[in-house]
Amino acid sequence: MFRMIAKNHGGGCAMLARQIDDKTIELLGTAFICHDKGYLLTAAHTFSLKDKLGFVPPAPVDQFNSSQLNNFSFLPVSVAQFDAANDVALLKIATAVAVAVPPNIFGSDDLAPVGASVCYLGFPHAHNGQHALKVSGTILGSKVLAPNGTKQLVLDSMAEAGNSGGPLLDLASNRIIGVISRRFSPAGNGASIRIGNHALGTESMISYATAISHALALLTAEGLHV
């Protein structure tokens, strides 16, 4: 099942980046192609609306790719739709490029059962120099409503910062049911004890994905058929 996920969806995952200057980009997280008209989805918290955004095109999944790239192709994107409350954003590729999207890629977050086997794709440590796509498997631990009403899928997994914006897929259907948001931090936004740059008490094996229905609402607002 994981092989089919990688085959069908790995080629659509890219590293999200912002341009610092003419020669420098900063890697921010993961984005994935969601529509053949040149659109990508990602997590809204990964960037600022002032950023000059783009993405690094993906490499073929099944070949041996360099874990650390020295040169990057950078394709600019614009922000088409932005939903900070639900942590999803829709991006539009600035130039005309050929985009292939598998049919029926989206599933239902309502129908996905708790305990289901799921996986997510992304670049967990892209900002630390690891640039190869990684497939990670886990289970859907629970489905919750955030205080603001956001539907969230709770994962029994430590999703790293670079995974934010990547797709969450139901293994049984091979369809996308969420967008990886962030890892749960027991310390919240309060004070913490630090050793070097690491805050004690911030590690957990719980991560959140935003339900795909919130992302699909952005495609609908953009006038895209899904």
Query: Domains of the chain (ranges plus CATH)?
Result: 2-101 (2.40.10.10), 117-217 (2.40.10.10)
218 φ, ψ to 5°? -70, -40
CB 151 within 8 A of CB 209: no
Q: What is the SS3 assignment for 16-40?
A: EEEEEECCEEEEEEEEEEEECCCEE
Per-residue pLDDT, 203: 61
Per-residue pLDDT, 107: 97
Per-residue pLDDT, 132: 84
Per-residue pLDDT, 192: 45
Q: Which residues of the chain have pLDDT under 70?
A: 185-204
CB 202 within 8 A of CB 185: yes
| Cα–Cα distance for residue pair 121/178, rounded to 1 Å | 11
Q: Provide the token pair at 52.
A: 């000059």
Per-residue pLDDT, 112: 93
Q: What is the tens place of the pLDDT at every residue in 86-99?
A: 999 999 999 877 78
Q: What is the tens place of the pLDDT at every residue in 139-177?
A: 999 999 999 999 999 998 888 889 999 999 999 999 999
